[in-house]
Amino acid sequence: MLRFLCAASLLPLCFVVVPALLTAQTDAAPPSDAKKAPSAKQQLPHPTTTVVVHGEVKDDYLPDLVTVGTLGGSTLMETPLSATVITRDLLNDQMARLISDVVKNDASVGEDYAPVGYFGDYQIRGYALDQETGFEVNGLTVVGEQNVPLENKESVEILKGISALESGVASGGGLIDYVTKRPTDVEAVDIATDHRGTAFGAVDLGHLFGAQKQVGARVNMAGERTASYVNSANGWRGMGAGAVDWKITPKSILKGDFEYQHTVGRSVCGYQLLGGTAVPDISSISPATMLGEQSWEKPNIFDTTNSNARYDYDLSAGWTAFVAASYSHALRDDNVVYAYGVPMTYDSTDDLYDTPSCTNATNAPAYFFCPNNTDGTPGGSYGIYDWREPGVLHINAQAEALVTGKIKTGPITHDVTGGGELFRRSVQLPGFYTYAYPSTATISDGPVYDYVGSENIYMPLTPFPMESPHQYAGPRRLYEDNHQASLVVQDRIILPGRLQFLAGGREDSMHDQNYSPAASNPCTPTLNNAPGPLNDPCPTTLNAQNQIVYSAPTLPIPNNKLIWLPQYAITFNPVSSLTIYGNYGVQLSLAPQASWFTDNGNQYLSPYFMRQAEVGAKYEPGQKIILTTALFHMRAPFFYPKTIQAPDSFCPLNYTTGGAVVAGDLCFESDGHDTHDGIELNAEGKATSWMRLSASATAIRAISDDSGTPSFNNKQVLNVPHLRTTFFADLALPHARELHLLPGWSYTGRKEATRDDAVNVPGYNLFNLGARYTPGGEGSHVTYRVYADNIGDKRYWKDTGSSGGDSFIHLGAPTTVWLDAHYTF
C-alpha cells in the first residue's frame, strides 16, 4: 500500500512520513513519561475523546499538550484513534473564515454538498457527517446546520472514525470539534480584504482579573461584508462571542462560552448531470454564474447561538470530576431560486406545472438537467423554482458528568472513568399541524416550492415573475424529537511491557419520535375543504377571527432502543517516541432524511449501526513533529432512492401523495452495505528549523454492495475519490527572518457522479501561495499576510455530493487573493 501511495504523486509526503516510521530510534524511557499532562491544580484535563489544546500554540503547527481519544485524557501519542488538529497559527496563515477553509488541511475530509453562501455537508473517510451530531464546540454537540464562527476558536480538531464513548448515537465517520480561545491578557485587531472588495474586521480583547489572576474574560467580535465570486451572492455577517474562566478554589474551575452570529446572503445552486449521463461542458460555463438568478429572490437568513459551561473539581488522590452542559440553537429562513430538473409545462388535469419538457428528449429523467439533443447540439435546459422554507429551527441540548481516577493493583494501573449524559435534539419545519391561517391565503403543505420558469446553463439568464397567487409556507411544527440518556464506563489498563488496553462502552437509551410522514398525510388541505387524495376530507373549521383552522394530527413513529456501544483498543510503545495501536468500535448513527421526491419523502429513517476496525502508528521525533498512519475498515448500510415494484417496509404507501405505491415508484431505503477500506498518512509540526508543515494523504476504496439494484453493486460510492492529498508549509527565508513563504498544494482524484459509476468528474491539482511579513521579527506588534487560493485559476468540479438523495455537482472557486493586517497592542 505504501508503494502504491508513493507512486501516486505523493513523494513529498512519503519522504517525510515513511522513513520516520521505519527508522525509529530505541529509547528506554517508558511511554507514560514521554510527555506528562499538567497536574489538575495547574490545568484540569478535558476528560472526553475530543482533542483539546491547553495553553499557547508553539511556532510549529503542532498543538502543545493535547489530549485526544479516551475519556481519561491521555496524550495524542498515547491515543488509539486517528485525529488531526488545525491550530490557530495555521488558521491565521490561511485566513480561514469557514469550516470549508479548514477541512482542506486533512485529506480524509471532503465536501459532500457545500454550496456557496450556505452551510456545508462534509464527509470523513467517505461517510457523510450527521448535521445534528457530527459537530461539537468544546466537546459538546452543536447543530451542524450553521457556519460556526472561527474568530473565537483556538483550534479545530478532526476525529476520524468511530468514537461511541464520547458521542454515543452520532455520525460514524467521525466528528469536527471547535475549541474556543480561553481568557488571557490580549488586545488585538484584524483588518482584511480580498481582490473582489470583501471587507472584514475583528477585535480580540481579554484580561485576567484578581490578585492571583483567578478570573479571566475574553470577547471576540467580527463583521464581514462578503464580495462573492458568484454574481449576486454577496452577503454580510456579524458575530460576537464571550468566554469566562473562574478559578474558584485551587481545586476547582468554572468555564463558560457563548457565541452568536447573524448571517444574510444568497446561496448558490449546484449543477446536475445532463440527462443523468453527461457532465456539463466546464469550459462553456462560469463559476460566476448563479443558476436561475432572479431579482426578487430573497436572501437566506441565519441566526445561531452556541453556549456551554463546564465545572471541574480536583478530588483527592488523583481523582477528578466535571459537569458540563450546552445549548445550540439555529434558526434560518431558506430562500432560493432553485435550479432543479428539466423544464416543466402546465398540466390542466391537476392545475400544476409537472409535465417534463426537454427538446427532442421526451423520455428524459425529470430530476436531471436536459440531455444533449439528438442532433448533437448541447442540452442543458433546467427548471427553476421559488423555494422558501421560513422558520426552520434546530435545537441541540446536552449535559454530562464524568469522574476520572487511578486505581493501582500491583504492577497494573487502571485509569477508570464513569458517568452519564443526557442529550436532546429537535427539528421543526414548515407543515400542517393544527394551525390557523387567513382564509384568503394560499398555503403550501410544508415549504413553498413553485415552478416559475426555465433556463439553460449555456445561455443568458431570463427574468421571470414570482408565482401568482403568492404562496405561503405551512406553519412550523415538530418533525423530529430525539432524547437520549447514557451511562459511560471506561478502563484504560496500563500493563507492564509498555502495553495498554482500553475497554469501554456506552449504554444508550434512545427515544426517537418521528413526525415527518404527517407533512403531507393523511390528507392535503385546501381552502374550500375539498377532499384529500384518499377521499378523506381534511378537517377544517372557522375560528372567531373567520380564519380557517387546519387540523391534521398524526401520531409520531416511535423508535426506542436500549443499546450497548462498545469500544476496545490496544497500544504498544516499543520506544517512547513510537506508538502502535489498534481499535474496534460500534456506533449507532442517526439516519438521513428521505429524498423529497420519493414515496417516503422527508421522513427520517431509523438509526443504523456502523462498525470499525483500525490499526495505526504514531511517531514523534523530538516533540517537534508528529507523523501518523492508519489503516481502517468501516461498514454501514447503503442509503439511496430505490425503484420499487410494490409496497415494502420503507414505503407501505405513498406518503407524498397519500395514494398507493405503484410499480416504478422511488422509495428512499437502507438497502445493502457501504464498505470503506483505506489508509491515512499525516504529518504536523516542525520538519526542520526553517520549515513547518501540515500534510496528509488518504486512499479509500469505498464500495456499495449487496443492494437490490445490481448496477449499484461493487461500485465506488458517490463523491469519494480513491486518492486525496494536502500539503501546506511555512518556509523561513534565509537572510530575511521577517518574511515567510506559505506554499500549498492539494490533489483530489476522480469522483463518481452516479451510483453505477457510469459518470464521473476528473481529478485535479490545486496550488496556493502566500506570505507572512512581520516587520522587526516575531516580537513585532503587527503582522501582514497575503494568501492566494488556486493561483492557477483551475476550473474543476469540487464535489459530486448528494442532498437528500439528489445528485449535484458543484464548481470550484476561481483564484482568490486575501490581504490581512493583524495588530496587537
| pLDDT score recorded for residue 38 | 39
| pLDDT score recorded for residue 534 | 35
Collapsing DSSP to helix, strand or coil, 400 comes out as strand
In 555-690, where do the E strands start and end? 557-575, 578-589, 608-619, 625-644, 665-688
| pLDDT score recorded for residue 47 | 36
| Tens digit of each residue's pLDDT (9 = 90 or more) over 228-253 | 999 999 999 999 999 999 999 999 99
Which of the four pLDDT bands, split at 50, 70 and 90, describes residue 7? very low
The model's pTM: 0.88
Question: Rounded to whole angstroms, how far apart are CA atoms 141 and 50?
Answer: 11
| pLDDT score recorded for residue 478 | 84
Which of the four pLDDT bands, split at 50, 70 and 90, describes residue 12? very low
Return the residue matching grid coordinates 445550540.
Answer: 328
| Tens digit of each residue's pLDDT (9 = 90 or more) over 174-193 | 889 999 999 999 999 999 99
Which of the pair, 600 or 674, is modelled with greater confidence? Answer: 674
Which of the four pLDDT bands, split at 50, 70 and 90, describes residue 295? very high
CA distances from 535 to 6, 523, 539, 600, 653 (A): 66, 8, 12, 20, 15
Residue 303 pLDDT more than 70? Answer: yes
Which residue, among 327, 328, 511, 325, has the nearest Cα to 420 in the 3D structure?
Answer: 325
| pLDDT score recorded for residue 553 | 46
Mean pLDDT of 252-276: 95
Side-chain-side CA neighbours of 705 within 13 Å: the count stands at 7
Residue 663 pLDDT more than 80? Answer: yes
Which of 11-20, 218-227, 547-556 is most confident?
218-227
Using the Cα atoms of residue 665, residue 671, residue 672 and residue 673 in order, give the sign of their dihedral: positive
| pLDDT score recorded for residue 51 | 38
Mean pLDDT of 170-174: 80
Question: Rounded to whole angstroms, how far apart are CA atoms 399 and 589?
Answer: 19
Can you spell out the DSSP letters for 795-823?
--EEE--EETTEE-BEEPP--EEEEEEEE
Phi–psi pair at 657, nearest 5 degrees:
-115, -15
Residue 367 pLDDT more than 80? Answer: yes
Least confident of 65-74, 504-513, 518-527, 753-762: 518-527
| pLDDT score recorded for residue 36 | 39
Cis peptide before 469 (omega within 30 of 0): yes
| pLDDT score recorded for residue 571 | 94
| pLDDT score recorded for residue 341 | 92
| pLDDT score recorded for residue 102 | 95
Share of the chain above pLDDT 70, in %: 84
Mean pLDDT of 191-215: 96
Residue 3 pLDDT more than 50? Answer: no
Residue 549 pLDDT more than 60? Answer: no
| pLDDT score recorded for residue 558 | 75
Residue 1 pLDDT more than 80? Answer: no
| Tens digit of each residue's pLDDT (9 = 90 or more) over 681-713 | 999 999 888 999 999 999 999 999 999 999 999
Which of the four pLDDT bands, split at 50, 70 and 90, describes residue 4? very low
Which of the four pLDDT bands, split at 50, 70 and 90, describes residue 446? confident
CB-neighbour burial class of residue 241 (10 A; exposed 0-12, middle 13-18, buried 19+): buried
Return the residue matching grid coordinates 480580540.
Answer: 204
| pLDDT score recorded for residue 63 | 57
Residue 580 pLDDT more than 80? Answer: yes
Question: Rounded to whole angstroms, how far apart are CA atoms 500 and 804?
Answer: 42
Residue 510 pLDDT more than 50? Answer: yes
CB-neighbour burial class of residue 197 (10 A; exposed 0-12, middle 13-18, buried 19+): exposed
Are 301 and 336 in contact by the 8 Å Cβ rule? The answer is no
Which of the four pLDDT bands, split at 50, 70 and 90, describes residue 361? confident
Return the residue matching grid coordinates 452568536.
Answer: 260
Mean pLDDT of 409-430: 92
Residue 539 pLDDT more than 70? Answer: no
| pLDDT score recorded for residue 73 | 58
At 801, list the grid cell.
455530493
| pLDDT score recorded for residue 550 | 45
> What is the rounded average pLDDT for all residues in the chain?
84
Using the Cα atoms of residue 329, residue 330, residue 333 and residue 334 in order, give the sign of their dihedral: negative
| Tens digit of each residue's pLDDT (9 = 90 or more) over 46-103 | 434 333 333 333 456 665 544 444 565 567 787 888 988 899 999 999 999 999 999 9
| Tens digit of each residue's pLDDT (9 = 90 or more) over 466-502 | 988 888 888 788 888 889 999 999 999 999 999 999 9
Which of the four pLDDT bands, split at 50, 70 and 90, describes residue 441? low
Question: Rounded to whole angstroms, how far apart are CA atoms 100 and 293?
Answer: 24
Question: Rounded to whole angstroms, how far apart are CA atoms 609 and 566?
Answer: 12
Which amino acid, residue 804? G
The CATH number given to 2-640+649-824 is: 2.40.170.20
Mean pLDDT of 409-416: 92
Instruction: Give domain limits for the chain.
Output: 2-640+649-824
Are 627 and 620 in contact by the 8 Å Cβ rule? The answer is yes
Can you spell out the DSSP letters for 758-772?
S-EE--EEEEEEEEE
| pLDDT score recorded for residue 546 | 46
Are 175 and 129 in contact by the 8 Å Cβ rule? The answer is yes
Type and span of the H or E element at 6: helix 2-6
Question: Rounded to whole angstroms, how far apart are CA atoms 684 and 626?
Answer: 6
